[in-house]
Every structure is written in structure tokens, then in C-alpha cells.
Amino acid sequence: MNHPIDDAALNLMLSELRLPTIKSLWPQFTAQADREGWPAARLLAALTEHEIADRARRRFQRHLREAHLPGGKTLDSFDFNAVPMLSKAHVMALSAGDRWLDEGANVILIGPPGAGKSHLATALGLALIERGYRVLFTRTTDLTQRLQLARQELALEAAIAKLDKYHLLILDDFAYVTKDQAETSVLFELITARYEQRSLLLTANQPFGKWQSIFPDPAMTLAAVDRLVHRATIFELNVDSYRRRTALEHQRQRRAAAQPAASTDPAAAQ
């Protein structure tokens, strides 16, 4: 004997259980199950599989929005051939996350402007988000200003604690921050708080020996570098500007494309 289903009540229960995908799909799936004689377990499995898949998709989109990653930069679009000293296998291993994030280890990318540091950092962040990790990308100067404001409001500890939800914090253009621009001891407190707890990825255009311009005194600089490099992966991208090389290559391609057209122009042949 078939018992009628109260559609409104069922939808209300699914909303209460926070199962929006099942709420959306159950009429379609139950109708198909009735037509094709599905066992109850098959119907239940099909609905829950869709709910899980859609929940993962929504989580990825939410984590991607909160990460503030620059768009269009992936590992597939990174030209590893242009940076021969960079091990692609090592980078791909880092993109899996796992142990180094669990241990709160760091990654440091050092090289001149245009070497591809921000592209690589962004691409690693995106790959980790795809694997379920939470990432935040920020310019170091912007974060420094936020932390300074929090300190003025006597809320620095709480502001740093809020960043703990991110498995990886990407600080872009780290060496552009200088103690002459603002008091940057808040960065040292952030580094200390995340040390061996949560991971940092830094991009910097200056080697460690020139980081004395960032922190208020040499002792703090030494302590910060010591914490950052402990169990860190350090890549030195000592190449010419990636952006400049790309622009020159595009220019060369445009000229090459225009050459055949010019040679077949009847007016040019006269």
C-alpha cells in the first residue's frame, strides 16, 4: 500500500537538515525510481552522492572567493621551461599539500620582479584549494596595515588568531615592506604565532641578507628569518623578467605573423 508523501513537510525537513541538493532533486529522482523500479538503497545512494558532490563544489567556490587569488594563474599556465632552476616535480609535490601543511612548514620564493613568483604562489594556492585546503592571498603591505590597525584597537592577538583558519597564508611582495613606511613588528608577531602551526608562503625580490630594512632591529630580523626558513622550501628564481620575456615573445610572434602577409601583398611586390 502506497502512503502519500507530504511534499511541503519533506522539503521543510530537508531544509532543516541543510540538504539543499536532495531537496532540489528528490522529485525527479523518485519519479525515475518509480518508473524503473529502483531499490530504495539505490535511490538513497544516488541522492546522497549528488548532495556530497554539490557540497564539495559549493565549498570550493566559497574557499576560492575568500582566498582573493589573482585570476588566470595556474600551474598548467606556468612556464617551467623559463625557470630552469625550478623543479617542476618539487612544485607539484607541494601542490598536493599533505605533510608540509600539517607541519606548518613554509615556502619562500625569491627572485627579481617579473620572475614569476606571484604566478607560482597563486597557482600553488589554487591547487591547494582544489584539494580542500583554505588559503588567503594578500599583499604584505595590506596585511601589515590591517594588523597595525588591530593593534591600535588592542585586538592584534584576535586578528592574528582569525588567520589560523587558513592552512596557507600567502604574503606577496614581502620585501617591499620597510620599517620606514610603517612599524612592521606586527609581521614578526604573525610569523611567531604561525611558527610550526600554520604555513606561510612568501614572495620576495630581495635575498635574506637585505631583509634588515623590514624589521625594526637586527635581532628581530634574525629571529624572523630563523623561524621562516626552519624546515622551509626555498626557491630562488634567478631569471630575467618573465613578463618582459613574454612581451618580447608576443612581439616576435606578431612580426612573424605579419611577414607572410606583407610578402603576398600585390602592392608590395610592385
Residue 98 pLDDT exceeds 90: no
Confidence of residue 256 (pLDDT cuts 50, 70, 90): confident
pLDDT at position 245, please?
A: 61
pLDDT at position 216, please?
A: 77
Return d(Cα 238, Cα 112) in angstroms, integer: 7
pLDDT at position 257, please?
A: 78
Architecture in CATH for domain 70-243: 3-Layer(aba) Sandwich (3.40)
- What value does the mean pLDDT take over residues 150-157? 95
| Phi, psi dihedrals of residue 110, rounded to the nearest 5° | -120, 135
Per cent of the chain over pLDDT 90 is 71
- What value does the mean pLDDT take over residues 93-107? 94
In order, the DSSP letters of the chain are -PPPP-HHHHHHHHHHTT-HHHHHHHHHHHHHHHHHT--HHHHHHHHHHHHHHHHHHHHHHHHHHHHTPPTT--STTS-GGG-TTS-HHHHHHHHT-THHHHTT--EEEE--TTSSHHHHHHHHHHHHHHTT--EEEEEHHHHHHHHHHHHHTT-HHHHHHHGGG-SEEEEETGGG--TTTS--HHHHHHHHHHTTTSEEEEEESS-GGGGGGTSSSHHHHHHHHHHHHTT-EEEE--SS-HHHHHHHHHHHHHHHHHHHHHHT-HHHH-
Residue 267 pLDDT exceeds 60: no
Per residue in 22-74, pLDDT tens?
A: 999 999 999 999 999 999 999 999 999 999 999 999 999 999 999 999 999 99
pLDDT at position 270, please?
A: 44
Termini Cα distance of the chain: 92
Residue 213 pLDDT exceeds 70: yes
Confidence of residue 201 (pLDDT cuts 50, 70, 90): very high
pLDDT at position 2, please?
A: 60
Domains in the chain: boundaries: 7-66, 70-243
pLDDT at position 269, please?
A: 44
Residue 265 pLDDT exceeds 60: no
Confidence of residue 114 (pLDDT cuts 50, 70, 90): confident
- What value does the mean pLDDT take over residues 230-259? 75
Comparing 183 with 97, which gets the higher pLDDT?
97
